[in-house]
Amino acid sequence: MIFVDTGAWFAASVTNDLNYSVASHWFAHNTQPLVTTNYVVDETLTLLRARRQGDVALTLGQQFFDGILTQVYHLTEDDLRAAWQTFVQFSDKEWSFTDCTSKVVIERLGLTHAFAFDQHFRQFGSVTVVP
């Protein structure tokens, strides 16, 4: 199973994004099951709308909620507490709270790969970033 971050969803959804070709090609050829979190879904849909991609946000959101693209992991209270501890522990990094929730879920699920353009995922040290 491969974790998918906001930047990957965004890049594959917006044709004029610099990473569109790489992202869309990767999704088209990936054979592994995908997982993301409800926090990443929120961040992705919010980013799309903020970047004036409202129609894309509606289409992608429907695909998330219909379970077409990926399994969506819903963070628990324990996950959120662990993310907060990660946020505090790594306060020297520029990781967003959503990045910290992603790190917690990746480790909780024992995932070894993440599709992300966010360099913070490389800083986690516990996951191989693709593509």
Q: β-pairing, 2-4 with 34-37?
A: parallel
Residue 79 structure tokens: 């996950």
- Looking at residue 116, what DSSP letter applies? -
Separation between Cα atoms, residue 83 and residue 97, nearest integer Å: 7
Provide the H-helix boundaries in 30-96: 38-50, 54-65, 77-89
> Could you tell me the residue range of the domain that residue 69 belongs to?
2-130
Q: What is the pTM of this model?
A: 0.96
Say how many domains are in the chain: 1
Q: Residue with structure tokens 């998918």?
A: 4
Per DSSP, what are the bridge partners of residue 71?
35
- The per-residue pLDDT for 14 is 98
For residue 7, give the H/E element and its range: helix 6-13
What CATH number should be reported for the domain holding residue 125? Answer: 3.40.50.1010
For each successive 10 residues of the chain (131 residues), what is the average pLDDT?
A: 98 98 98 98 98 98 96 98 98 97 98 96 95 91
